[in-house]
Amino acid sequence: MNIFFERKYIIQAILIFTCFILIVRLFYIQVIDDSYFLSANNNVLRKLTVYPARGIIYDRQGKIIVQNEPVYDLMVIPRQAKNLDTIGFCKLISIDKNEFIIRINKARKFSPYKASIFAKQLSARAYASIQERLFDYPGFFVQNRTVRRYPDSVAAQVLGYIGEVDENRIKKTNNYYQIGDYIGISGVEKSYETVLRGQRGTKIIMVDALNRDQGSYEQGKYDTTAIAGEKLISSLDLRIQKLAEKLMRNKKGSVVAIEPSTGEILCFVSSPTYDPNLLVGPERGNNYIKLLKAPEKPLFIRPIMAQYPPGSIFKAVQALIGQQEKVITPESRFPCNGGYSIGNRMVKCEHNHSPLNLNESIAQSCNSYYCWLFKKLIDQGKYGSVEKNYLVWRDYILQFGIGKKLDIDLPNELGGLLPTVGFYDKYYSSGHWKSSTIISLAIGQGELGVTPLQMANTMAIIANRGFYYSPHLIKAIGKDQVKKETYTTKHLVKIDSSYFNVVIDGMQQVVDHGTATYAKIADIAMCGKTGTAQNSHGKSHSVFVAFAPRNNPKIAIAVIVENSGYGSTWAAPIASLLVEKYIKDSISRPAYYIDRLLNADLIHPTFTETKESH
Amino acid sequence: MSNLGQNKFWKSIDMPIILLYITLVLIGWLNIYAAVFDESHASIFDLEKNYGKQLLWIATALFIGLMVLLIDSKFFSVFSFGIYGITLLMLVAVLFFGKYVNGSRSWFEIGSFRLQPAEFAKFATALVVAKYLSSGVKMERFSTKLSVLGLIGLPMGLILLQGDVGSALTYVAFILVLYREGLSGMVLVIGLLIGIAFILSLLFAKAAILISIAVITAILLYNFRRKKKIIPVIIAGAALVATMVVGFSYVFNNVMKQHHRDRINNLVGKEIDIKGAGYNVNQSKIAIGSGRLIGKGFLNGTQTKYDFVPEQSTDFIFCTIGEEYGFVGSVILIGLFLALLLRIIFISERQRSSLSRVYGYGVASILFLHLFVNIGMTIGLVPVIGIPLPFISYGGSSLWSFTILLFILIKLDANRQNIVK
């Protein structure tokens, strides 16, 4: 006990007061202020999107056309990416410092707290080398994605491509998509987007200070699993698809083959084509621009977007309408005289036939015959006026799927061109036109635009003797192999099946000993029709349509090779190889036959010159 | 010693202190386990991990504590200068033979065993100050003040030379002891004010400080309204601090060069290490703040478990407590410390020997300063100064030295009937 005894109270007061300060401060940061709690979650929790694998697409034999391949997106949370060894990091992912700054600023602009993509779609190899060093770079982590891979690099225009969803699409879908999601942009990828995309999942993980994964949060209580997209079974037959793409190399044009009994598309080629793998991966943007700018327009889907006057192949349709309308019988004959005269104009015929019957008119493709027939239908029809007769005729054509969309399961299909009464009324003024005014239609020329798909479908109708199913590329969806209702509806053409035989006879003769004998296949009765679609911009287009075998047809096909002359030269032999390959799974032709087709370059001028003689 | 004598001896030991001590040490051990928990070393006895090692330190500390109790209490009086001398020698030696750890040369390394002499200098200094002040000197005399200042300043200076600013600062705690023993309160107040003003002027905006000073002055004036003599002193003090704040920040910002500023910022804990002091304190506050009222529970603290908090088993161990036990747990821990401190003061005041009393105040002051600075730093009240939380933080040297510090007092107290000179 000494004189300063009472100072112990002051000292005790200091101690108690100090502890009180600590407690007040603790009360503030622990109980009152929420921000620390939120920051803690921000530190530790990472909400990862688990992207579902997109549906796989198979061909009709179960071979994979499109599959998925894992890639890795490098993500960044800008606020955590501090004190970086920027130079080392740039080296690691091979970008320069400017690029780094641009990307990090972009990410920061999106959100300093949320993850955004810093580098897209690193390959498995790049990922492996980065992963080892990633802990040196706080704020960066890797997220798994899958991208499309096309093992055979075929059917680019059928499959289409996917890409990152844009703002518009996100808004339109009520934010179903999020920034960074992939969406089908064209082709089957687009038309079956809702089936293929699957369902996103989320996973919340915890990370440590070095950003290393420390496992799931609360045993995954808040996680949702990703559901993979459904598989699609395409109607394509990879065997002939691949062969057709090879044969069409260096040629502009289309090949469409359909199984007549179902409407399933067996082969769908738009040439020139491109490797679908080009539109995958980090180079996608550049490649896309290149394809867009390429003079051959590989992104143009010719089978459904290119429209040609059908030419002689239209005669088969006319013959059927003529019989149904009872203006001709198989034995009706019309004079040829080397052409059909209208005043001082003349629709020339290549030949000067003696009057032919219906069967012969098809086999020998007599222009005059069909002008006479058209005159009977339009001018002398039983419906009272040229307009009404034309309307009836036009309705038949529509029933054949010409002049309207066939509802194929691809976006951007065009319906073609088939003039209405109104069109001619306006053009020639009402009452001032008749068959002779529009006589080009008689032989498939003039104001007609038919897509290769419609040509093939017309063949399917003839092969079926009067009906078709809308052609489609996906025959079954998902595990349960569902088929879209659109594609199980039978479309009947109002033409009696008995009228088909004579037309088919003529078409068989075309192949057996007519204009397409070069395309004749041993043991297979193929019925076909060559065409030469006139083209005001240059050389005619070589067209060939066919189906085979004659009984129980398995395949209907249309081949168009642009600016290459007669149908018999290029289109018919290409079609014939494909038909044989499809039906017999082998080709009996000699090598030179195939090589001539494979090696021909009809796009690049130097080669075209030498082939001019055909 | 007879059986009866032994019994009497054990009975004379202050059990509340022993219980508080053991409680704190165990809390420390469990929280070290939680802080550095590693699934592949899940056993709390795993000697490869800090928690396993801490158990060894605890066991040895208890043994050392027992030894201290068994030594004759005259020993501490007689050999106080000897012990002080030896620690000074060690402090000198470590300057030459020590190992650099975190930028300061304050560790001896013998094999895998590391020893920090600065820790032991604390009780040695407490002891020597007690011995000196109890030897009949008069505090009012200038020579006394100078000698005490020398006794305290010598180890403090040596520790500063090692680069261990944190440990050196703990010697400021002796101001409380000197105040209790008669040093004018003015010295205490002015010293404190200078320190606070200096740090404040660097850390906070001037306006905020000046307002605080005004408020504090008003409160003091109200409290001391009856003591007319003190009022001018308070006003003068406030004016002094305010002037200093303005002056310091002027000098700091306009007179000093950038590298000077950096050094001072470094000293007060601004921008202290590579990642920035801001990072450490921020993470530490996040960890504690995220504990909320009752905490996340044992081993569930994500911030400490996943290494967001640096030095989490040593200087930032309080983060683990704050995060896993929340406000309630934090208050209980501070309560235990406060109980210990008040008990020590109670014990000190019941000593007949002034050596024991002075020493007791030394113990309380040192523990108090560590408590305030350590917890204060984790919650952003005090600049980052790397000193341990007594009995809780991981580390042999600190646990041993705090144990010796406390147990000498327990021994002196047990022997209080015999006056030790």
* Tens digit of each residue's pLDDT (9 = 90 or more) over A455-480: 999 999 999 999 999 999 999 998 88
- Contact flag A208-B307 (C-beta cutoff 8 Å): yes
3-state secondary structure of A33: coil
Which residue on chain A is closest to B318 by alpha carbon? A26
What pLDDT score was predicted for residue A159? 93
What pLDDT score was predicted for residue B6? 63
Amino acid identity, residue B138? K
- Contact flag B180-A4 (C-beta cutoff 8 Å): yes
What pLDDT score was predicted for residue A1? 46
Mean predicted confidence (pLDDT) in A279-305 = 89
Euclidean distance between CA atoms A458 and A512, whole angstroms: 21
Judge whether B118 and B159 are in contact, CB under 8 Å. Answer: yes
Determine the distance in angstroms separating the CA of A136 from the nearest CA of chain B, rounded to an integer. Answer: 13
Euclidean distance between CA atoms A413 and A158, whole angstroms: 12
What pLDDT score was predicted for residue A301? 94
What pLDDT score was predicted for residue B412? 92
Judge whether A221 and A210 are in contact, CB under 8 Å. Answer: no
Mean predicted confidence (pLDDT) in A446-457 = 94
What pLDDT score was predicted for residue A480? 85
Residues of chain B with pLDDT under 50: 1-2, 259, 267, 269, 271-276, 421
pLDDT digits (tens, 9 = 90+) for A352-403: 778 889 999 998 888 999 999 999 999 988 898 999 999 999 999 999 999 9
Mean predicted confidence (pLDDT) in A271-285 = 88
Judge whether A488 and A468 are in contact, CB under 8 Å. Answer: no
Q: Which residues of A227-252 are buried (b: 16+ CB within 10 A; e: fewer)?
A: ebbbbbbbbbbbbbbbbbbebbbbbb
Mean predicted confidence (pLDDT) in A199-226 = 80
Residue A609 reports pLDDT greater than 60: no
What pLDDT score was predicted for residue B337? 97
Mean predicted confidence (pLDDT) in A248-264 = 95
What pLDDT score was predicted for residue A610? 41
What pLDDT score was predicted for residue B22? 96
Residue A434 reports pLDDT greater than 50: yes
Report residue A524 as tokens.
């297979």
Report residue A580 as tokens.
């044989």
ipTM of the complex: 0.83
Mean predicted confidence (pLDDT) in A507-524 = 89
Mean predicted confidence (pLDDT) in A534-541 = 78
What pLDDT score was predicted for residue A75? 87
Q: What percent of chain B has pLDDT over 90?
A: 36
pLDDT digits (tens, 9 = 90+) for A83-107: 778 888 888 888 888 888 888 888 8
Residue A613 reports pLDDT greater than 50: no
More confidently predicted of B37 and A500? A500
What pLDDT score was predicted for residue B272? 42
Task: Give every CB contact of residue A94 below 8 A, 6+ residues apart in sequence.
Answer: none
Q: Which residues of A205-217 are buried (b: 16+ CB within 10 A; e: fewer)?
A: bbbbbebeebeeb
Domains of chain A, each with CATH number or no CATH: 235-310+451-614 (3.40.710.10), 312-324+333-401+417-447 (no CATH)
Amino acid identity, residue A439? I
Q: Are strands A57-58 and A232-234 parallel, antiparallel or unpaired?
A: parallel
Determine the distance in angstroms separating the CA of B210 from the nearest CA of chain A, rounded to an integer. Answer: 19
Q: Is the pTM of this model over 0.90?
A: no
What pLDDT score was predicted for residue B365? 94
Which residue in B288, B375, B376 is closest to A30 by CB distance? B288
The DSSP secondary-structure symbol of A312 reads G
Which residue on chain B is closest to A31 by alpha carbon? B292
CA atoms within 13 A on the CB side of B382: 20
Q: How confident is the model at residue A614 (pLDDT cuts 50, 70, 90)?
A: very low
- Contact flag B289-A209 (C-beta cutoff 8 Å): no
Residue whose tokens read 């299909």? A413
Which residue on chain A is closest to B296 by alpha carbon? A37
Mean predicted confidence (pLDDT) in A242-256 = 94
Q: Taking CB atoms and an 8 Å cutoff, what residues of chain B touch A14?
A: 176
- Contact flag B292-A37 (C-beta cutoff 8 Å): yes
What pLDDT score was predicted for residue B413? 92
Taking any CB pair shorter than 8 Å as contact, residues of chain A touching chain B are 2-5, 7-8, 10-12, 14-16, 18-19, 21-23, 25-27, 29-31, 33, 35-37, 39-41, 43-44, 83, 206-210, 214
Q: Taking CB atoms and an 8 Å cutoff, what residues of chain B touch A18?
A: 368, 372
What pLDDT score was predicted for residue A411? 92
What pLDDT score was predicted for residue B204? 63
- Other CB atoms within a 10 A radius of the CB of residue A268 amount to 30
Judge whether A186 and A28 are in contact, CB under 8 Å. Answer: no
